[in-house]
Amino acid sequence: MMGRDGFSTRCIGMGAALGAALLVCGCTEQPQAEATVSPGAGPLRLVVVTPHNQRIRNRFSRTFSDWHLSEFGVPVNIHWISRGTPRCLSYIEEAATSNELVLRHLVPDVMLGGGISDHQFLADAGLAATTATPLPEEQTIPATLLGVPLRDEHGYWHTTALTAFGIFCHHQGLTERNIPIPKNWSDLADPAYYGWLAIADPTRSGSNRFCMSLILQRYGWEEGWSVLMRMMGNSRALLESSDDAIMNVSSGMCLAGLSVNFNALHEAATHGGDKLTFVDPADATAITPDLVSMLSYASSQRMAERFVRFCLSEPGQALWSLKPKEDPNSSDAAQGLAAFEAPLYRFPVLPAIYEKYADRLSVGGNPYKRESEFVVNMALEQQQATVVPAMLLAACGPNHILLQEVWKAIIDAGMPAEALAELTKPIVDEQTAYELGKQYQHGGDEAYQLAATWAAQFKAKYEKVLATLSSKG
C-alpha cells in the first residue's frame, strides 16, 4: 500500500536500480492482545523503530522505563529497531504482513524520529493510529512554526522535539587549509571543498534529504540543482548514514557535511573542543518537528500510547533538552536524567519548558521567538522527496567517480561557463520531475527503468562535458 508521497517505495526503488530487489508490501491491521499491567510484575516490552543513534536510544530506554515504573508500577524494556529513516518506513511496511517478524516478536509498536513526510506516509498508508484520548500537553504547542506544521489535525503524528538543519564543520581543518568557513548552503559548492564534503545517501538519510530540499527551495530548481551537483562533485563519497557523515567530519577526513544540530552539537562538545562547529546557514535556516507515531498494528496500543504521552510529558521533554543536573541529589521533573551524562541538545516542543528550565537548556535561544524570511514549503518538500533523492543517487551513486573526474576537469580548466552549465543543469524541468516522481513511487519495473534511465542520462552528460573539455585542451 502506498501513501500519497510514495516514500517507502521511492527509497527501495533506487536500490533496485543498483540491483537490489524492490519490495512493496500491503498493509492490513491485525488485532492483537493488549498487554496488561500488574504492579510488581516483570518488565513489559515495547518495540520501537527509529533512526536515532545509540546515545538517544539508551537514554530513552532508561528514562521511559523509570517513568513507567513510577506511573504504573512496572518497568518497560524497549527493543529498538534502528536504521535510517527511509528504511524505518520500509521495515514498518514489511512488518504489517510478515509472519516471520510476528514470530520473532519484532513487529514495532511505535516509530520515534523522522519528519512530517515520513510520518504522513504512515498515516496515509493506514499504518498509524490515533491516541484513545487527546493529549492535553499538545494543545499548548503552536499549530505552526515558520510555516511548518507542529500538530497533525487528525492526531496521527505528534511532535516530540524541534530540529535545526545546517552544516557541521571541522573549523580547525578549514582554517589550516585557508578554506572559508561556510555561511550559506551555496558555499559548499565552492571548488575549494573538492574532496572534503561528507554527504549521506539521501535515499538512506532523511536529514541529508531534507537539507537538499532546503537548498532547492531556497535557490529554485535550476540554481538549486547547480548547487547540489557541485556539492556532489565535492563529496568524497555518498555515505551510508548521517552518522557516518558526522564521524567523517569529526575525524578530519572531511571538513564539512550536512547535519542536524543535535548530532553536530554533541559531537563538537564531546570530541571537538574548538575545532568543530555547527553553522546555521543564514540563507535558509529551518526548524522542523521530530515526530513520534503509534502504529496501527501495535501489539499493545495502550503501551504505545503511554510512550507517546511520555514524550510529551515534562520528564520526556527534559530528557531531550536539559543539561545534566549540577546537584544529582536534587529533585525536579528531570529526575530521570543521569546526573553526569552529556545532554541531547534538542529544542523542546512544549513552550513552557523554555520558561521553567531557561538556565538549564542545552541549546541556545527559543525557536518560537525566531524570525526568518525563508519559510519551508512542506507540501513541496514532500513532492521533492518522491524523486530528488533517487535522481541524486543516479547522479552520484554508480556515476560518482565520473562526476568527480568531470568536476575536477572543470575546476582545472578555470571553470569555463559552458562546461559548468552543462554539468550542473537538471536533466528535467521541475514539473516533469514531480510527474516522474509519481511514476517512480509505483515501484517495480517502472521504478527500476526510471532509475536506470536517469543514471544513463547523467553518465552521458559527464562524458559529453569531458569530451568537450578535451577537444579544447
Query: Which pLDDT belongs to residue 27?
Result: 31
Residue 447 cell numbers, joined: 521504478
Query: Which pLDDT belongs to residue 282?
Result: 86
Q: Which residue has the cell 530521570?
A: 336
Query: Which pLDDT belongs to residue 36?
Result: 44
Model confidence at 346: pLDDT above 50: yes
Classify residue 416 by burial, with Cβ atoms within 10 Å: 0-12, 13-18, 19+.
middle
Query: Which pLDDT belongs to residue 20?
Result: 32
Q: What is the pLDDT of residues 3-59, one digit of tens each?
A: 333 333 334 333 333 333 222 222 333 333 334 445 555 689 999 999 999 989 999
Q: What is the mean pLDDT of residues 422-449?
A: 95
Model confidence at 251: pLDDT above 80: yes
Q: How confident is the model at residue 100 (pLDDT cuts 50, 70, 90)?
A: confident
Query: Which pLDDT belongs to residue 101?
Result: 75
Model confidence at 432: pLDDT above 90: yes
> What's the whole-number average pLDDT of the chain?
87
Q: What is the pLDDT of residues 302-325, one digit of tens each?
A: 999 999 999 999 999 999 989 876
Query: Which pLDDT belongs to residue 365?
Result: 87
Query: Which pLDDT belongs to residue 10?
Result: 36
Query: Which pLDDT belongs to residue 112?
Result: 98
Q: How confident is the model at residue 443 (pLDDT cuts 50, 70, 90)?
A: confident
Q: What is the pLDDT of residues 280-295, one digit of tens each?
A: 998 888 899 999 999 9
Query: Which pLDDT belongs to residue 340?
Result: 47
Residues facing residue 288 across a β-bridge: 163
Q: Which residue has the cell 526510471?
A: 450
Query: Which pLDDT belongs to residue 37?
Result: 47
Q: Worst-scoring range by mean pLDDT, 77-86, 110-119, 228-237, 339-348?
A: 339-348
Residue 289 three-state SS: strand
Q: How confident is the model at residue 331 (pLDDT cuts 50, 70, 90)?
A: low
Query: Which pLDDT belongs to residue 99?
Result: 81
Query: Which pLDDT belongs to residue 12?
Result: 35
171-179 contacts at long range (C-beta below 8 A, 24 or more positions apart):
171/274, 171/275, 171/276, 171/277, 172/252, 172/274, 172/275, 172/276, 173/252, 173/255, 173/275, 174/255, 174/256, 177/255, 179/255
Amino acid at 440: Y
CA-to-CA dists, residue 335 to 48, 279, 325, angstroms: 23, 32, 9
Q: What is the pLDDT of residues 377-413, one digit of tens each?
A: 989 999 999 999 999 999 999 999 999 999 999 999 9
Amino acid at 67: W
Query: Which pLDDT belongs to residue 184?
Result: 96
Query: Which pLDDT belongs to residue 269?
Result: 87
Query: Which pLDDT belongs to residue 456?
Result: 98
Quick one: 23-162+288-369 is in which CATH superfamily? Periplasmic binding protein-like II (3.40.190.10)
Largest CA distance in the chain: 80
Q: What is the mean pLDDT of residues 61-77?
A: 96
Query: Which pLDDT belongs to residue 42?
Result: 67
Alpha helices in 196-236 (DSSP H): 206-219, 221-234
